[in-house]
Structures are given as structure tokens and as C-alpha cells.
Amino acid sequence: MSDETSRPFVFRVEISPEEVDALAPRLREALAANGNDGDITRRAAAIAEREAKLMLDQEDLERRARQLAEREAELGSSDELTASERIRLAERRHHIELSEHEIDSRENALLRREAEFEADVVLREDRIEEWRSELTELQRELERRERDLASYVEQLQGTVIYGDPLPSPPGVTELRRSA
């Protein structure tokens, strides 16, 4: 089997926080039919909040890195750095590196949750589409049976009025054909 045929199809939908508010009523209706009370909407809002916090943290980190670089440039121009200043600068650099690592891990976790959310939405959409096709098929079957019953009633009326032979009930001929 080639790699192309074994890979699943991935459909990605990006929804901004503003679009979530616009789509929320439709999502709630679809999810209510599915037995979900809006958990996806809450999760989407939580993800949007975390994204905003992540952006603020990243901007703060960049601002602090610029300040540190400016201080290092100021101090670098003078060759008279004291040992305590070097230690303080090294500690700040270390703190910034740790902050960058934390932000990266939070971003990866956020991306992973977003992918799970998107996969959940796709699965729910597929399920809704399956239900829709099943309902359409059942509707067709019901309409066919209604036509058969109407035809049978018409034949019975012909029997009562004109003395025609008694027709077989609807569905019986289908059983005889399949046997």
C-alpha cells in the first residue's frame, strides 16, 4: 500500500473568535441535535483566550529581550562590567530563554488542542451528514409505502364497487418476489 492511500484526509477550518460568535447559534443547534450542550463553543472560546494570552506573553518576552539587548549594548560599550552586572545579565538571559521555552511549549499545546477541536468538528459534521442521508432514504421509503397503500385502497374500492378479485396487500408481492 502506498503512503498516499493510507493517509487520512484532513480538513482544517480556522475560526476566529469573532466568527465563533457568528457561528455559535448554528453550532448550538447542530450540537443540541447531537446531545452536546455547547462544549465545543466553550472550548473554542477558551482556546481564543489562551491564544490572546500567549500573544501578550510573547510580546512581553520580545520587549524584555530588546531591553536586555539595549542594556547589554550600553554595558558592552564600557569595558568596566562588574562581576555582579555580568551575573545579573546572565540570570536575565537564562530567565528569558526559559520563558521562550515555556511559550513554545504552551503554543504547541494550544496547536494540539486546536487540532483536536477541528477533528471533533469534522467528525460531528460527518455524523450529521450520515443522519441526513439516512433520513432522506427513510423519507423515500415512506413515500413509496404511501403510494403502495393508496394503490391498494384504490384496488379494494374497485373490488367493493365493481366486484373485481381481491388484490394482495402491499408488501406481500415483494415478499413473493424475493423468496
Q: Note whether residue 109 is domain-resident.
A: yes
CA–CA separation, 114 and 157 (whole Å): 64
**Confidence (pLDDT) at 108:** 93
Q: Which residues, given as ranges, of the chain have pLDDT below 50?
A: 1, 175-179
CA–CA separation, 43 and 93 (whole Å): 35
**Confidence (pLDDT) at 178:** 46
**Confidence (pLDDT) at 80:** 63
Could you tell me if 89 and 71 are in contact, meaning their C-beta atoms sit under 8 angstroms apart? yes
Q: Note whether residue 121 is domain-resident.
A: yes
**Confidence (pLDDT) at 93:** 92
**Confidence (pLDDT) at 38:** 59
- Find the domain containing 85 and state its range: 16-138
Q: Note whether residue 127 is domain-resident.
A: yes
Number of structural domains found in the chain: 1
**Confidence (pLDDT) at 152:** 86
Could you tell me if 164 and 158 are in contact, meaning their C-beta atoms sit under 8 angstroms apart? yes
- Each residue's pLDDT tens digit, 138-168: 999 999 999 988 888 888 888 888 777 777 7
Q: Note whether residue 55 is domain-resident.
A: yes
Q: Note whether residue 159 is domain-resident.
A: no
**Confidence (pLDDT) at 2:** 52
Q: Note whether residue 149 is domain-resident.
A: no
**Confidence (pLDDT) at 179:** 43
**Residue 87: exposure state from Cβ atoms within 10 A (0-12, 13-18, ≥19):** exposed
Q: Note whether residue 101 is domain-resident.
A: yes
Q: Note whether residue 77 is domain-resident.
A: yes
